[in-house]
Amino acid sequence: MEILAFGVQADEKPLIEKAFAGHHDVRCLDVFLTEDTAPIAAGYETVSTSVNAILDHRVLQTLAAGGTRMIAQRSTGFNNIDLEVAERLGLTVARVSSYSPYSVAEFAWALALAVNRRIVRASNRTRDFDFRLHGLMGRDLRGRTVGVLGTGRIGEAFTRIAHGFGMRLLGWDIVENPACTALGMEYVEKDRLLAEADLVSLHVPLLPATHHLIDAVALKAMKDDAILVNSSRGGLVDTDALVTELRAGRFTGVGLDVYEAEAGLFFLDKSLAGIEDDTLARLVTFPNVVVTSHQAYYTADAVGQIIDTTVRNVLNYFEGRRDENVLVPRA
C-alpha cells in the first residue's frame, strides 16, 4: 500500500520516508492539498495532509470519489477540515493530538524577546555596519505581568518560562491548570488580563468560540505599550483591527507566527510573485512587528513526534484500531 503525503517540506521528506519504511511505501509531494491538487490523490486509499491544506466539501468529495478512505493530518489543529462532510462521505480522519509543547512555547518566547529587544532591527542595522543604539531600547521582563490565554500543555510550558523570568502570572482558560496555579498564576477574566498584562500570549485552539478572540474591543483593552504574541492560530486575532491599532502607534511589539489568511501563502516562496494580501503587506511594514511563517512547531523533536504519530494513525486505520487521535472513526 502506498501513502500519498501532501505539503511535505524538504526537511521532512527523509524523516517521513524513514518512518514509513517497513510499513508502507510513501510518495511525498511538496504541493499542498487544495481543490486543484486533490485529483492527484486518485487511487490512494490513505492521504496525509499538512496544517495548511484546505479540506472543504469540494476537496473531500474529490478525495472520496478518487478512492481515498483515510486522511492523516500532520498537525494538532483541524479547523481546516470539514468533519461533518468527511463523516458523511465515510472518510476516516485522524490528527496528531499532541507533540512537544516546548517547541511552540520556546518560539513564542523567541518572538516576545525579539520584539521587546528589537533584535530584527538591530541585526539589519549591523549588516550595514550601523552600530547605533537609537531606537533599540527594550524593557526588563522581570517583575512585569504576563497574560497567558490558554493554559494547556503549550500554555503551561510558556508559563514555566515566564516564571523563570520572574514575572507576575495571569491566566485565562475554561479550566484552571493546577501546574500553573502552583507556579503562582492567578486566573482572571479576559478583560482584566488584557488590561493588566505587559505581555499577552495566545495558546488556545481555533474554534468558533475563539475566532477573533483578540478583536477590536480586546485590542483597545490592552496597554498601549503591551506586547502581543500569537503562535497558535491566525484566526484568533482580527488582523485588520490589529493593523488599525498599530497605525495609531500602539503596542511595544507584536510577534506573529500565524496569520488568519496564511493558507496559500505560508510555506511557499512568494518573493518574486508579490503579495496581493494588502493586510499582510501592511502588517510587515511596521518596525515593531515580527511575522514568521508558522514555524513554531518546526523542531526536529516536534516534527519527529508528529511523523511518528502519523505513521501510527495510518497503521491503526489499517489494523482497525482507534485512539484519541481519531476525529472521524472508520465507518
44: helix, strand or coil:
coil
How many other C-beta atoms can be found within 10 angstroms of the C-beta atom of residue 209?
9
Rounded Cα–Cα distance for residues 108 and 124 (Å): 21
Phi, psi for residue 26 in degrees, rounded to 5? -135, 135
Positions marked active-site: 233, 262, 294
Calculate helix-pair angle for 101-116, 153-165, nearest 10 degrees.
40
CB neighbours of residue 170 within 10 Å:
25
CA dist., res. 163 & res. 103, Å (int): 17
Amino acid occupying residue 220: K
The H or E element spanning position 57 is helix 57-65
Q: Is the distance from CB of 288 to CB of 252 less than 8 angstroms?
A: yes
Report the alpha-carbon distance of residue 261 to residue 282 in Å, rounded: 14
